[in-house]
Amino acid sequence: MLETVLRRDQDFGTPAITRALKQVSLQIDGQTIQVPEGTSIMRAASMLGLNIPKLCATDSLEPFGSCRLCLVQIEGRRGYPASCTTLAEEGMVVTTENKRLADLRRHVMELYISEHPLDCLTCSANGNCELQETAGQVGLRQIRFDGYDKTQANKTSDNSNPYFTFNPDLCIVCNRCVRSCEETQGTFALTVDGRGFESQISTGLNTNFKDSDCVSCGACVTACPTGALMDNSVIQMGQPNHAVITTCAYCGVGCGLKAELKGEELVRMTPWKNGKANEGHACVKGRFAWGYATHPDRITTPMIRASINEPWRKVSWEEAINYAAGEIKRIQAKYGKNSVGAISSSRCSNEEVYLVQKTVRAALGNNNIDTCARVCHSPTGFGLKQTLGESAGTQTFESVTDSDVILVMGANPTDAHPVFGSRLKKRLRQGAKLIVIDPRTISLVSTAHAKADYHLPLKPGTNVAMLNAFAHTIISEGLQNKAFIAGRCDSDTFKEWLEFILLDENSPESAATITGVPAQTIREAARLFATGGKAAIYYGLGVTEHSQGSTAVMAIANLAMITGNIGISGVGVNPLRGQNNVQGSCDMGSFPHEFPGYRHVSDAATRKQLEQAWQVKLDANPGLRIPNMFNAAISGTFKGLYCQGEDILQSDPNTQHVEAALTNLECLIVQDLFLNETAKYAHVFLPGASFLEKDGTFTNAERRISRIRKVMRPKSGMADWEITQALSNALGYPMQYENPSEIMDEIARLTPTFASVNYAHIDKMGGSVQWPCNPQNPEGTPIMHIDSFPHGKGTFVPTQYIPTSERTNKRFPLILTTGRILTQYNVGAQTRRTGNTAWHEEDLLEIHPHDASDRGIENGDIVQIASRVGQIAMKAKVSTRVQPGVVYTTFHHPVSGSNVITTDNADWATSCPEYKVTAVQISKVENYASEWQDHWASTDKKQHDFLKSAESGTHEHT
């Protein structure tokens, strides 16, 4: 059912009522139905299969009652009320069709159509237009009025947005777009200008969609019942004719999407209404930025070369795989078993990641497997395991609907997790309180119709001091949840922690000197957190990517436990995971010390189970983490790396160090879509498949396992799991999976938290299920730790603040912190190959006006950023979003080299790099030519020339 669905889902007209206290029973056209109190007559009728004509209503939006097409007759009531705004009542008797209603509706429709151009045959919405369908539904046969020329003349289309066009000629002013922007997206970019016949949709005075507040989420386009707001791809290609449900491959929200196609050609992506992570919403990336999948830069033929100073040679799959396997075997024979390893991709599916780690452990015979979580949320895995007993967030996204207080720390949800950001903003508009702990004034601090109650702009690197001061305030003022602590937490570790937290060094006064935030503000925010009702913590890389990342995660867990904010809806510890499948890649055993399901490699029982299943002896010693691999490569003991779908050269810190490591490898195998930065140093290129080209599952930040489905054949002929399988076979460890479903069955057999997961069960559960999903929790686990923690009681860990060694001084007086923006995604390999570049052509350095003027820097000037490890140059953007002393940039464009200046400092427990704190100096320069940027440009040219010559076939031999 989920594989191929109709283009338009059933629209019940008004939203479902999910929390009604009672049911009401009514009769509609002679049929009796029971619905939750608060349900509209329109929805109740729709549930009976009776589709009342409508235009302004749709079930993703609150009823508006403007079009008057949905009139019904109710026994004992005068007039003809609108069924979308009239609620079902006990004993009501409703008629939805009779002659009078039909006449009224036809008349209303006639008025609409009289103002509408009658060029349906050439309209892009033809065949999928609610206006057209409703005109047919009400039986409109003639139009006696001619309002079109008078009212609609001289209106011009707005095609400023790269992805959709607004044609006011086709607009019926139903307001669905305005309401989508307000209710679903929370941006309030649209308004209705004028009155009566003159009214029209507007993006504000003298502006267009592109330059307005619009964030291009597409909610208005999806909601528009006519062709007025239309995807450009549909205008160009025509209406799609079938659809496949899949899951977004960008961020950890994991939105359900509907790939709408003509044959194998993707026409558009729309948000899937029944996607539980997104409930019919998406952002500019998932909704529109899929063009990279068919971009001409895609490499679709395997390539090999003996040296990175030689051109590529296009070869068959067989030759590439045999060459790669031969090289790995040669290196292991020469340098030992541990001289090779792999990095799995958090953009690939669970099944694919599972195979990569299995190949490392079973075919290479070591545990040298790591993943990009190393550089983002490895402290989450460690910190939550130590305290709450499980390496994952505790809630569903939907849980935020019940939160009274929301603490957002080191995360920027409106940019990095936009669909969750919209949910969060909705809850804020309903009155929830917000505390933002972030060095920058992120958008949430002041958003349309909602403001943070407290913004604590702490100095980068001082999270732990801030969190300790929150806990100190709560305990010293007796605001803790004593019952939860006594009933659910371990008393010994609590006692020890209590002594620690009451030390003066953890007081708000001490924290004020460390964080730069006044003690009184810290106290007030802490009191609000402890006493404001259900309090939820959402955090991101601004917490984890520090020398004390793991400590901060544990401090967050401590805070949730002392306030009893665990185990119910509306509370919890919620890491906002970055990549689409970073949770999954960790779950699948991508860490060098853990097998699938977070079981330590030294655990004999787990090893025995896997050894029996895999028929191979497993290493009991943890393998190398990514930074250890780099160090070992530089020292000459690590010589071969299989890197699946991760651009380590651009994404990992201290680029020059990474480059030195990659250059020292004798065989680097890169499996990717494009010649990314890492691939420029590769000897084998295995062309990967995009998420549109394969089946499998992704696991999002809520532990939600969702299906991805193949909508087109792999451009290279192989899905990524097939490539890994072929490599493993060539290495001598046999794998014979016929399809990803078989891999998932094996994962379920061998991983207790996945024991009941299989594709049929996921489909049965409505398309996704949250782990643990096993015989104890067959329907999955939306909220964790309800009655107890996996290890019984919650464990407190003292979290002493230790300042980072990365200090500012006269030479490097400013702190650089890095992050993402809405329209680009991580290293930008995907989004830079889409229309999203319209919003972010280059990385910019945000600098406070004071720091800028001290240095004679103005907006748009080119500046040099120098740190202890390197220098780069980029344009400055003078902004008060950063505080004095702090500068900020993104890392989406390789030419910027943002990670040339980040250092090797890392989290003490997990080696997660300290991206968020780099001491730098900024100075104005005349051009971009930093030494590194010159080097990058020449390497880039040389490697692209090598690629071109391989493509043109001018170099057939190495």
Query: Where do contacts with ligand SF4 occur on this chain (CB under 6 A)?
Result: 171-177, 180-181, 185, 187, 189-190, 201, 214-220, 223-226, 228-229, 248, 250-251, 253-255, 278, 282-283, 285-286, 417-419
Nearer to ligand SF4, 177 or 325 (CB): 177
Taking the complex as a whole, how short is the minimal distance between the CB of residue 68 and ligand FES, in angstroms? 5
Phi-psi region of 186 (alpha: psi -120 to 50; beta: other; left: phi over 0): left
Q: Which does 66 bind (CB under 5 to 8 A by kind): ligand FES, ligand SF4, none?
A: ligand FES
- Is 66 an interacting residue with respect to ligand FES (CB under 6 A)? yes
Nearer to ligand FES, 114 or 808 (CB): 114
Nearer to ligand SF4, 580 or 651 (CB): 580
Nearer to ligand SF4, 35 or 224 (CB): 224
Spatial CB neighbours of 925, under 8 Å, sequence gap ≥ 6 = 862, 863, 864, 873
- Is 55 an interacting residue with respect to ligand FES (CB under 6 A)? yes
CA dihedral 712, 217, 129, 81 (to 10 degrees): 140
Nearer to ligand SF4, 223 or 669 (CB): 223
Q: How far apart are CA 716 and CA 301, in angstroms?
A: 6
Q: Which two tokens stand for residue 903?
A: 């250092």
Q: Which does 285 bind (CB under 5 to 8 A by kind): ligand SF4, ligand FES, none?
A: ligand SF4
Among 17, 47, 68, 106, binds ligand FES (CB under 6 A): 68
Taking the complex as a whole, how short is the minimal distance between the CB of residue 53 and ligand FES, in angstroms? 8
Instruction: Give the residue carrying structure tokens 């939860």.
Output: 484
Beta strands at 340-344 and 640-644: parallel, antiparallel or unpaired:
parallel
Taking the complex as a whole, how short is the minimal distance between the CB of residue 85 and ligand FES, in angstroms? 6
Q: Which does 419 bind (CB under 5 to 8 A by kind): ligand SF4, ligand FES, none?
A: ligand SF4
Taking the complex as a whole, how short is the minimal distance between the CB of residue 105 and ligand FES, in angstroms? 10
Nearer to ligand FES, 71 or 360 (CB): 71
Q: Which does 228 bind (CB under 5 to 8 A by kind): ligand FES, ligand SF4, none?
A: ligand SF4
The three-state secondary structure class of 672 is strand
Q: Which does 234 bind (CB under 5 to 8 A by kind): ligand FES, ligand SF4, none?
A: none
Beta strands at 640-644 and 667-672: parallel, antiparallel or unpaired:
parallel
Site string for ligand FES, 4-43 (x = CB under 6 A): ----------------------------------------
Nearer to ligand SF4, 165 or 655 (CB): 165
- Is 57 an interacting residue with respect to ligand FES (CB under 6 A)? yes
CB 378 within 8 A of CB 911: yes
Radius of gyration of the chain from its Cα atoms, rounded to whole angstroms: 29
Nearest residue (beta carbon) to ligand SF4 = 286
CB 943 within 8 A of CB 675: yes
Q: Which does 84 bind (CB under 5 to 8 A by kind): ligand SF4, ligand FES, none?
A: ligand FES
- For the chain, helix (H) and strand (E) counts, in that order, are 31, 36
- Is 82 an interacting residue with respect to ligand FES (CB under 6 A)? yes
Give φ, ψ of 901 to 5 degrees.
-100, -15
Classify residue 937 by its DSSP letter: H
Q: Which does 215 bind (CB under 5 to 8 A by kind): ligand FES, ligand SF4, none?
A: ligand SF4
Among 41, 69, 245, 293, binds ligand FES (CB under 6 A): 69
Q: Which two tokens stand for residue 64?
A: 């508006």
**Helix 508-515 vs helix 519-531: angle between axes, to the nearest 10 degrees?**
120
Q: Which two tokens stand for residue 721?
A: 């799991």
- CA torsion through residues 223, 224, 226, 231, sign: negative
> CA 865 → CA 380, 660, 801, 873, 922, distances in Å?
30, 21, 28, 6, 5
CA dihedral 819, 823, 824, 829 (to 10 degrees): 170
User: Side by side, which strands form the sheet with 704-708?
Assistant: 696-699, 704-708, 768-770
- Is 54 an interacting residue with respect to ligand FES (CB under 6 A)? yes
CB 253 within 8 A of CB 420: yes
Candidate ranges 52-60, 86-94, 496-504, 704-712; the one touching ligand FES (CB under 6 A)? 52-60
Nearer to ligand FES, 66 or 729 (CB): 66
What is the number of alpha carbons within 13 Å of residue 101 lying toward its C-beta? 19
Q: Which does 201 bind (CB under 5 to 8 A by kind): ligand SF4, ligand FES, none?
A: ligand SF4
Q: 773-782 as b/e, with b when 16 or more CB fall inside 10 Å? A: bbeebeebbb
Q: Which does 82 bind (CB under 5 to 8 A by kind): ligand FES, ligand SF4, none?
A: ligand FES
Count of residues of this chain found to bind ligand FES when the rule CB under 6 A is applied: 12
Burial of 805 (0-12, 13-18, 19+ CB in 10 A): exposed
Taking the complex as a whole, how short is the minimal distance between the CB of residue 132 and ligand SF4, in angstroms? 12
Taking the complex as a whole, how short is the minimal distance between the CB of residue 47 and ligand FES, in angstroms? 16
Taking the complex as a whole, how short is the minimal distance between the CB of residue 13 and ligand FES, in angstroms? 7
Among 27, 29, 65, 402, binds ligand FES (CB under 6 A): 65
Helix ranges (DSSP H) in 30-93: 41-47
Candidate ranges 51-59, 341-349, 781-789, 827-835; the one touching ligand FES (CB under 6 A)? 51-59
Q: Which does 785 bind (CB under 5 to 8 A by kind): ligand SF4, ligand FES, none?
A: none
Nearer to ligand SF4, 831 or 943 (CB): 831
Three-state SS for 103-171 is: HHHHHHHHHHHHCCCCCHHHCCCCCCCHHHHHHHHHCCCCCCCCCHHHHHCCCCCECCCCCEEECHHHC
Nearer to ligand FES, 65 or 835 (CB): 65
Nearer to ligand FES, 114 or 739 (CB): 114
Candidate ranges 60-68, 178-186, 420-428, 662-670; the one touching ligand FES (CB under 6 A)? 60-68
Q: Which does 65 bind (CB under 5 to 8 A by kind): ligand SF4, ligand FES, none?
A: ligand FES
Q: How far apart are CA 350 and CA 353, in angstroms?
A: 5
Taking the complex as a whole, how short is the minimal distance between the CB of residue 178 and ligand FES, in angstroms? 14
Q: How far apart are CA 721 and CA 743, in angstroms?
A: 9
Nearer to ligand SF4, 419 or 816 (CB): 419
Residues in 336-355 at the binding interface with ligand FES, rule: CB under 6 A: none
- Is 909 an interacting residue with respect to ligand FES (CB under 6 A)? no
> CA 62 → CA 14, 49, 80, 200, distances in Å?
6, 21, 20, 21
Phi-psi region of 447 (alpha: psi -120 to 50; beta: other; left: phi over 0): beta
Residues in 808-827 at the binding interface with ligand FES, rule: CB under 6 A: none
Instruction: Give the residue carrying structure tokens 């608060």.
Output: 38
Q: Which does 358 bind (CB under 5 to 8 A by kind): ligand FES, ligand SF4, none?
A: none
Q: How far apart are CA 556 and CA 514, in angstroms?
A: 18
- Is 70 an interacting residue with respect to ligand FES (CB under 6 A)? yes
Taking the complex as a whole, how short is the minimal distance between the CB of residue 211 and ligand SF4, in angstroms? 12
Q: Which does 54 bind (CB under 5 to 8 A by kind): ligand FES, ligand SF4, none?
A: ligand FES
* First and final C-alpha spacing in the chain: 50
Q: Which two tokens stand for residue 496?
A: 């020890």
- Is 87 an interacting residue with respect to ligand FES (CB under 6 A)? no
Q: Which does 190 bind (CB under 5 to 8 A by kind): ligand FES, ligand SF4, none?
A: ligand SF4
Bridge partners, 406 (sequence order): 434, 536
* Cα 517 off chain centre by: 30
Instruction: Give the residue carrying structure tokens 């040099």.
Output: 864
Give the residue among 888, 406, 392 at the shortest CA–CA distance from 597.
Answer: 392
Among 33, 84, 190, 586, binds ligand FES (CB under 6 A): 84
- Binding stretches for ligand FES (CB under 6 A): 54-57, 65-70, 82, 84
